[in-house]
Amino acid sequence: MPENVTASALLYYSIGIAPFVRLSLGGTMKKSRTETLNGFTNLGVAVVGATLSVLAAPFMMSEAQAQVTPIPAVAPNPTGEISAERQRAQKLFQAITGVKVAIDDSRLVQMETQLKAGNPRAAAAIASQDPLFLDVQIRDVAKLMSTREQTIRAPMSDFVATFIGVVRDSDTRSAKELLTGNFYYRVDPAVIATLPANATIRQAEQADIIQSNNHYNDLATRNLSPSAVLIAQSPQRALQNNAVVNHPDPAGLLTTRAFVEAHAVAGTNRRVVEEMMQEFMCVKMEEWADGNAPDDRVSQDVTRTPSGSVNLYLTTCKTCHSGMDGMRGAWAFVDFTNNAQTISTNVLGKMTRNQTEYPQGYRITDNSWVNNAIYGKNADQFGWRSSLSGNGIGGLARMVADSRGFSRCMVRKAFQAVCRRSPLAGEENLVRTLADQFEADGYHARRMYENVAVNPNCVQ
């Protein structure tokens, strides 16, 4: 199923309690008059070459148990006039939530009123405050960021739940807390207490949250609405010497179980730096590699004469390792073993492996780090505004969260999700303007999505 569909086609339908279904257009769409008036309906759409896939299995639960509710059917009005503002409201709602609803849906009527009054932001707010915004759009943005595969097929996890929770709580939580928070989101125990015994959510801290994904798998399987049932839990927790402890170096999403499992397992903890920069600064390794950066932090396991050539090292290996190796020391104590994020009190062996490759290279002895991505193009694209060296993941994460690059990256991800395309090269000033507004709004994530959506470059 294609995941980067330019025109989203998400269909919710009602069969009993209605599972979520994503309609991925692999072919063409033929519209009847009913479909034109009423969005996607069971009777009004002929789909050619489309793919249906169930995203969450149905499960009979009461409304009080915060189950995901289907979009109600709306009787079309064949003779009613469809204003330009109503049509724009439908496009705006779909862009923000990822779901197309009937043209006569009451939410669109409210949005139409705001658009006619010249209040596009108020119209966008109606969509962003709808549970679908969190349960579909933000969920999928988070899933794309949560694993190596970068797919919306990624499982629900502590990373995804925490991303949803921070966006939901934008009125009281800054988006910077995605990287600086000492908390994670889980299903509210009070909600779990209302569930029937044969449909409960496993919640044993060590067995179901720290050493497995059981808790979050159940959240998805039981078809609960994340926007309705999640609650923040503090502090973050991990394993140390096989015992559950408060995380000594919390850093929001970077120290969730899902992120550590995806990027800090085995290896040399370089991948976790690369992925941090890709997901929270929106740059791939080759885009921030710099041959002019110092290599005093390049570790002993990197040869200085690949294929017998010093020049090859200087023009290829060094360009990437100067940045990665400078920062990777922050993760000197973090691993993923025993199916959990584990914290050591000493530098892990994987941080100093192959030390005889180039003994004169840098040897990691603590969790200190240095930012070498500060020269030339990197100075502008990252816009660093806080300390460029320090200790631990938390300090490194704060540096990233404080940067202009983080704000611009969050805008880019919102633009990609809402506008269904990446910003063009000529829209860089727009990205920066939206990022400035994001910061001026106190890093209010939900409001940022509204600002992106109502921009004329996004939804017409």
Q: Which pLDDT score is estimated for 8? A: 31
Q: Which pLDDT score is estimated for 429? A: 97
Calculate mean pLDDT across residues 320-330. Answer: 98
Q: Which pLDDT score is estimated for 78? A: 73
Q: Which pLDDT score is estimated for 70? A: 65
Distance CA 177, CA 264 (A): 21
Nearest Cα to Cα of residue 177 among 428, 423, 394: 394
Strands (E), 6-62: 10-12, 20-24, 28-31, 45-48, 51-56
Residue 31 has pLDDT above 50, yes or no: no
- The SS3 of residue 122 is helix
Residue 245 phi/psi, 5-degree rounding, is -135, 160
Nearest Cα to Cα of residue 70 among 101, 93, 38: 101
pLDDT category at 293 given cuts 50, 70, 90 is very high
Q: In which region does residue 81 sit, left (phi positive, over 0), alpha (psi from -120 to 50) or beta (all else)?
A: beta
- The SS3 of residue 174 is coil
Residue 324 has pLDDT above 90, yes or no: yes
**Structure tokens given for 299:** 């570790």
Distance CA 277, CA 409 (A): 10
One-character DSSP codes across 307-327: GG-HHHIIIIIHHHHHHHHHH
Residue 185 has pLDDT above 50, yes or no: yes
- The chain-wide mean pLDDT, for the chain, equals 87
- The SS3 of residue 278 is helix
Give the pLDDT confidence of 382-432 residue by residue, as tens digits.
Answer: 999 999 999 999 999 999 999 999 999 999 999 999 999 999 999 999 999
Give the pLDDT confidence of 72-100 residue by residue, as tens digits.
Answer: 777 777 777 899 999 999 999 999 999 99
Bridge pairing between strands 45-48 and 20-24: unpaired
Q: How far apart are the first and last CA of the chain?
A: 27
Nearest Cα to Cα of residue 130 among 165, 99, 151, 162: 99
Peptide bond into 250 cis (omega under 30): no
Lowest mean pLDDT across 14-28, 129-143, 162-176, 203-217: 14-28
Distance CA 40, CA 291 (A): 53
Nearest Cα to Cα of residue 31 among 81, 103, 80: 103
Residue 133 has pLDDT above 90, yes or no: yes
- The SS3 of residue 169 is coil
Residue 202 phi/psi, 5-degree rounding, is -65, 135
Residues 6+ apart with CB under 8 A from 102: 37, 38, 39, 41, 71, 73, 74, 76, 108
Calculate mean pLDDT across residues 43-68. Answer: 36
Q: Which pLDDT score is estimated for 75? A: 74
Is residue 445 within 8 A of residue 166, CB to CB? The reply is yes
One-character DSSP codes across 56-81: E------GGGTBPPPPPP----TTS-
Taking each helix axis from N to C terminus, what angle separates 445-454 and 404-419, rounded to the nearest 10 degrees? 50
pLDDT category at 67 given cuts 50, 70, 90 is low
Calculate mean pLDDT across residues 258-285. Answer: 97
Give the pLDDT confidence of 205-258 residue by residue, as tens digits.
Answer: 999 999 999 999 999 999 999 999 999 999 999 999 999 999 999 999 999 999
Residue 22 has pLDDT above 60, yes or no: no
Greater confidence (366 vs 56) lies with 366
Nearest Cα to Cα of residue 164 among 214, 231, 210, 116: 231
